[in-house]
Amino acid sequence: MKRPSARDSIVSTASRLFYKQGYSNTGINQIIEEAGIAKSTLYQLFKSKEDLLLVYLEETGKMTIEGLRAAAAGGTTPKEKIVAIFDHLESLHARPEFFGCHFLNIVYEMPDGEQRARAQIKIQKDAVRSLFVELLEPKRQEQLADEIYTLFEGALIGQKIHNAAWPIVSAKNTLGRMF
C-alpha cells in the first residue's frame, strides 16, 4: 500500500482537526505531531496556517458538491432531486462524526478581516446555490432556487444550534409545500 505524501498527510490531518475541534483550537504543532512530519516540511508546503485552511476549504467544497450531486442523482424530477439532497443532509446528521457544516463552522470563527477564507467559503456556498438553480433549470425558477438555498442553509444552522435533525426535517417539509 502506497504511503500518503507529506502534503496529503498534512491536509488530511488539518482537515480532520479543523472540522472536529475548529480552526482556532487547532495549532500548527498539533497538526505537525499528528501528521508525523517535520515543521520544516509543513512550511515548505504551506506558508501559513491560513494557507492550509484555504486548501481544506477548497478540497472540502469539491467533496461537498460531489456529495450533493450524488444525492440529487437519486431523483428524477427537480423536486425529487432537491428532496434527495435534504435526505442526504438528514443522513449526515445521523453520523456520529458529523459536526455540522464545514464552512459555517469556519465562518463563525473568522473575524471580518479574514477575507481570503471568507471568499473561499462564499465560493462554496455559491456553488450550492448554483446547484439548486441547475436542478430547477427545467422550471426556470431562480427565485425558488434562492428560497430552497435559504432553507438549506437554515437547516444547517438549526441543526448545529439544536444538535437535532428536526430543523432539517422541518425544512424538507416546507420544501414539499413549495412545489
pLDDT in tens, 77-97: 999 999 999 999 999 999 999
Does residue 60 contact residue 102 with C-beta atoms inside 8 Å?
yes
Domains and CATH numbers, the chain: 1-46 (1.10.10.60), 48-178 (1.10.357.10)
**How many other CB atoms are found less than 10 A from the CB of residue 170?**
14
Q: Is the pLDDT of residue 70 over 80?
A: yes
Predicted structure pTM score: 0.91
Cell of residue 8, nine digits: 496529503
Which pLDDT belongs to residue 169? 96
Cell of residue 146, nine digits: 434562492
Q: Number of C-alpha atoms within 13 angstroms, CB side, residue 130?
A: 7
